[in-house]
Amino acid sequence: MQGKTLILWSVVIIACLACANGRNEKPSVHSERQVLPGSGSQRGDTATFAAGCFWCVEAQFQELEGVDTVISGYTGGHLKNPTYKQVTGGNTGHAEAVNILYNPEKITYDELLEAFFVAHDPTQLNRQGNDIGTQYRSAIFYHNQEQKDKIDFYIKRLNEEKVYAKPIVTAVKPYGPFYIAEDYHQNYYRLNPDQGYCQFVIAPKMEKFKKVFKAKLKN
């Protein structure tokens, strides 16, 4: 990682908008659906990130070349097969998160980490903007020791370079049970571009994300 790139991030990250309240909730219809530890795409591997509302994070990472699939769900908690309503209640211990199934021949884990630290503010504890609670915490769930080593290196370097005004609070945890969110959460931004939250919160974040990663976007 080059020092100049790190300094550039500090400008970009400050400009990124955080997720806000106002997301519409639909009735929970939730059968048991779980992505087991170690699962990945047919051609590659999996990264698991939590960075506030999963609608935003899903939409951002879907744009990157080499990312095959992004699955929104819940992980890091104690309740088996939680619903959206339960998770947003803040008592399950789960975070809104995404499983990113990617092809490492087209995009590396390092590049995904770079995108993660640009996509949100990792210095906000248990919140992103107006979304407040442990379910919106910044966290990375590593699938193997190599991923953990890279995560630790990035966080240490970003803090040393003082890219952010405050220390990074991103939690680093081993990957555990990941429960796929209800169907209406999947591909939310793509399917609901005219929804108010998408227009006023996600769209501006997408615009900034695409500017930073212009060379890495899908055609």
Whether 53 sits among the annotated catalytic residues: the reply is yes
Structure tokens belonging to residue 2: 């080059």
Token pair 């390092």: residue: 110
Between the CA of residue 1 and those of 5, 64, 153, 197, what are the distances in Å? 7, 19, 10, 34
**What stretches of 66-170 adopt beta strand conformation (E)?**
67-75, 95-102, 127-128, 131-132, 138-142
The residue with tokens 């212009």 is: 214
Catalytic residue of the set 16, 53, 56, 198: 53
Q: In 3-state terms, what secondary structure has residue 72?
A: strand
Burial of 42 (0-12, 13-18, 19+ CB in 10 A): exposed
Inter-helix orientation angle 3-15/203-212, to 10°: 160
Look up residue 144 and give its two tokens: 């193997």
Reading phi first (left if > 0) and then psi (alpha if -120 to 50, else beta), residue 62 is in alpha
Residues identified as active-site? 53
